[in-house]
Structure 1
Amino acid sequence: HRGDLLDIGSIDLVIKKIEPDEIYNFADQDHVGWSFEIPSYSLKTTALSVIEILEILKNKAKKIKYFQPISSNIFGLTDSRTQNEKTTLNPNSIYALAKATALQGCKMYSRIYNLFICGAIYYNHESPKRSKDYVSQKIVQTVCEIYYGKKKYLYLGDLKTKIDWGYAKDYVEYAWKIMQLKKPDFFVIATGQNYSVEYFAKNCFSYVGLDYKKHIKVDKKLIRPSKTSLLKGNTAKAKKAFRYKLKTKLNDLIKIMMDCELKKYNG
C-alpha cells in the first residue's frame, strides 16, 4: 500500500482497505535542522497530518487504536534536570513545535471523542537504519571510512553536547507494550543517562583500534543555532505501568551500529 501524509485521502483509502486494529504513525519530518528550512512542510507533515488522521479515526465505526511517537525536543529549553510526562513544553525548533502540537492534538481527540490514542515521548533512539544526516550514524560511517583509508578526519560541532541515546529496536517494542494497556496514555521512553558526542565518537574509534584525538576536527559551522537544554528522561511512570527496562546499553548499541557498517566493507 502507498500513501502520503500530505495527501490525506490516500491515507484514508489505505485504512479503509486494511481495516487495521492498530495504527503506529512513525512518519514525519524528523530532522530538527531541516525544519527551519522547510517550516511549512515540517508543520504539515508532523502536526497537521496527525490531526487529519485522527479526524478519519473519529468517524470510523470500528474503534482503531492509534500510537503517536513524540520527541523529547518538545521540552526544548527546560529548567528541569530530568523530564517526565508533566514537564512544561518549551519547544525550540519548528520540528519540536510540530511534535508538541501533535501531542496536544492527540490528548484533545482522546478526551473529546473517547478515542484510544496513546504514545511515547521518545528520547534519541539510534540504529543502523539512521541516515548520515544524524550525528550517531555520521560518526559510525565516517569512522569506518577513516579505518579503511577513505577519509582522514571526522568533522563535528560541539563535542560536549550530551544526549540520552537509546536503541530504536528497544523503543519500538515499548510502542507495542503501550498499545496493549487497557487505558491509553503517554510515557517517556528513555535511558535516563547522558553521554557526550565525544564519548560516542571515542568509543566508535576505539572499536576499530584508532585514537579518536588524531582524527576529529571541530567545525563551529556544524553547531546548531537553536540548542536545547540537557534532555534526560525520567521513566518512573513507565516503570510503574509495566516492567520497564531497556535491554541495550550504549556500548552495545555502538557495537551493533559499527558491526553493521563494517559488514559493508567486508561483504
Structure 2
Amino acid sequence: MNQTAQKTALICGISGQDGGYLAQLLLEKNYRVVGTSRDAQTTDFRNLRSLGIFDQVEKASMALTDFRSVLNTISHAKPDEIYHLAGQSSVGLSFEQPVETLESVALGTLNLLEAVRALGLPIRIYHASTSECFGETGGKPVNEETAFQPKSPYATAKAAAHWMISNYREAYGMFACNGILFNHESPLRPKRFVTGKIISTACQISAGADARLKLGDIDIRRDWGWAPEYVEAMWLMLQQETPQDFVIATGKSHSLREFCEFAFATLGLELTDYLDSDPSFKRPTEIRANCGDASKAERLLGWRAKSTMRDVISMMIKHELPAYSDIGS
C-alpha cells in the first residue's frame, strides 16, 4: 500500500497569530513544520507554547532582509510549501517606522522569491497580502479585481509585495499566491492590536480592575473574522492546480463602536462608563470602512467564513477572562 510522502512547510513568521494557528493546522495534516523568526534562539514562541505545539515545530533563524539568510534557510529546510507571513505588521507602527516596514515587507518578499527562483525547486509560495491595500472603498464589498489605493506605509509595502508575487508568477511560472485577508482575530492577537486591547481591558474591568479603555476613532468599520478559519484558506490556496489570488473575508462590516459595545455588554458592562477618547491614537490617514467579497474563495476553494464578529468576541472573552480571576480577590 502506497503512502503519500510527508510534506514539509516553511512558515516565515511563525511566532505571530497566524503562524501559530497555521502550524497547528499543518501538524494535524501530518506536515513537517519548520518555523522561522529573526532569532530563533531568543524568541519565546509564546503562541506555539500556548497551542501546545512548541516541541513539534522545528525552529530556524532567518532575516528576510538578508538574501543569504533566506537562501540558506530554504536550502536546509527543503520545503514543499512556503507560507510567507513575516514582516512588520502593524499599520499604526508603520507611520513611525516606514523604512523598516518597507524593507521587512517588500524587500523581504523579493528576497524570498529570488531565493526560490535561484534554487529552481518546485516550491509553492503563499504570501500574506492584506485588505489594507484596497484603501478607502466606502464600505462596498471588494474582490480580487478591485484596484489598490493604499493609505499607510504598511499598505504601500504590502501592495509592492503583492505585485511582486503576481509578477514572478507570470514571468517565471512560479506557484505563488496572494491571500488578501481582511481583519481576523483570536486569543493570540497581541494587546497592541486594538481588538486585543478591547477584550483585555473589558475582562480586567469585569474582574474588578480600575481600568479605562482609551481609543481613537471608534466609528471606523471593519470586516472581522476568526483567525483559525482564515489559515485554512491559506492552505487551500496551495493545494489548487493553478496559483491564484483570493480575498478572504466574512462579507460583513461592523464599526469599532459595535465591537466595543458587544464586548462590554457580554460582560454585563456599559461601554460609555469606561471609554475615553484619545486623539493620539488617530492615524495620519485612516480607512473609514472596509468589507470583502470572498465569493471566489467559496466557489474555487470551498471556503466560507463560519464565525461572525459576535462569535469572535465571545470566543476571545472566553479565553481571556480566566487570566484576570485574581483581580479584586
Q: TM-score normalized by structure 1?
A: 0.96
1:201 to 260, 266, 273: 260
* Cα distance in structure 2, aligned partners of 1:259 and 1:141: 11
1:177 to 222, 225, 236: 236
How much has 1:262 moved relative to structure 2?
1.1
How much has 1:169 moved relative to structure 2?
0.8
In the other structure, the counterpart of 2:250 is: 191
Q: Deviations over 1:27-71 (max 9, x none)?
A: 111111111111111001011110111001112232100000111
Q: Deviations over 1:121-148 (max 9, x none)?
A: 0101111111111110010011112122
In the other structure, the counterpart of 1:235 is: 294
Whether the 8 Å contact between 1:153 and 1:215 is mirrored in structure 2 is yes
User: Which amino acid is the alignment partner of residue 88 of structure 2?
Assistant: Q
| 1:151-162 equivalences in 2 (<5 Å) | 151-162=210-221
Alignment RMSD, CA only?
A: 1.5
1:65 to 124, 134, 138: 124
**Residue 90 (structure 2) pairs with residue 35 (structure 1):** no
Higher deviation after alignment, 159-168 or 237-246: 237-246
2:193 to 131, 134, 140: 134
Task: Kindly tell me the number of residue pairs found equivalent between the two proteins.
Answer: 267
Query: What secondary structure sits across from 2:119 in the alignment?
Result: coil
Higher deviation after alignment, 180-189 or 194-203: 194-203
**Residue 217 (structure 2) pairs with residue 217 (structure 1):** no
How much has 1:230 moved relative to structure 2?
1.7
* Cα distance in structure 1, aligned partners of 2:244 and 2:216: 37
User: Which amino acid is the alignment partner of residue 231 of structure 1?
Assistant: N
Query: What secondary structure sits across from 1:59 in the alignment?
Result: helix
Query: What secondary structure sits across from 1:68 in the alignment?
Result: strand
Q: Which has the higher contact order (CA 8 A, sep 6+)?
A: 1
Whether the 8 Å contact between 2:70 and 2:115 is mirrored in structure 1 is no
In the other structure, the counterpart of 1:84 is: 143
User: Which amino acid is the alignment partner of residue 214 of structure 1?
Assistant: D
In the other structure, the counterpart of 2:82 is: 23
* Cα distance in structure 2, aligned partners of 1:158 and 1:46: 27
Q: Deviations over 1:172-227 (max 9, x none)?
A: 01000111010000000001111111111111112221111211122222222201
In the other structure, the counterpart of 2:112 is: 53
Higher deviation after alignment, 101-110 or 212-221: 212-221
Higher deviation after alignment, 240-249 or 110-119: 240-249
Question: Where do 4+ consecutive residues of structure 1 move more than 4 Å?
Answer: none
* Cα distance in structure 2, aligned partners of 1:61 and 1:187: 25
How much has 1:78 moved relative to structure 2?
3.4
In the other structure, the counterpart of 2:5 is: none
Whether the 8 Å contact between 2:70 and 2:111 is mirrored in structure 1 is no
Query: What secondary structure sits across from 2:145 in the alignment?
Result: coil
In the other structure, the counterpart of 2:172 is: 113
Whether the 8 Å contact between 1:142 and 1:151 is mirrored in structure 2 is no
Higher deviation after alignment, 17-26 or 238-247: 238-247
Q: TM-score normalized by structure 2?
A: 0.78
User: Which amino acid is the alignment partner of residue 42 of structure 1?
Assistant: T
Structure 1: segments with no counterpart, 5+ residues: none
How much has 1:79 moved relative to structure 2?
5.6
User: Which amino acid is the alignment partner of residue 229 of structure 2?
Assistant: D
- Going from structure 1 to structure 2, the CA distance change for 1:260 and 1:51 (only over 3 Å counts) comes to same
In the other structure, the counterpart of 1:10 is: 69
* Cα distance in structure 1, aligned partners of 2:72 and 2:294: 37
User: Which amino acid is the alignment partner of residue 195 of structure 2?
Assistant: S
- Going from structure 1 to structure 2, the CA distance change for 1:47 and 1:11 (only over 3 Å counts) comes to same
Q: Deviations over 1:148-175 (max 9, x none)?
A: 2323321111121111001111110100
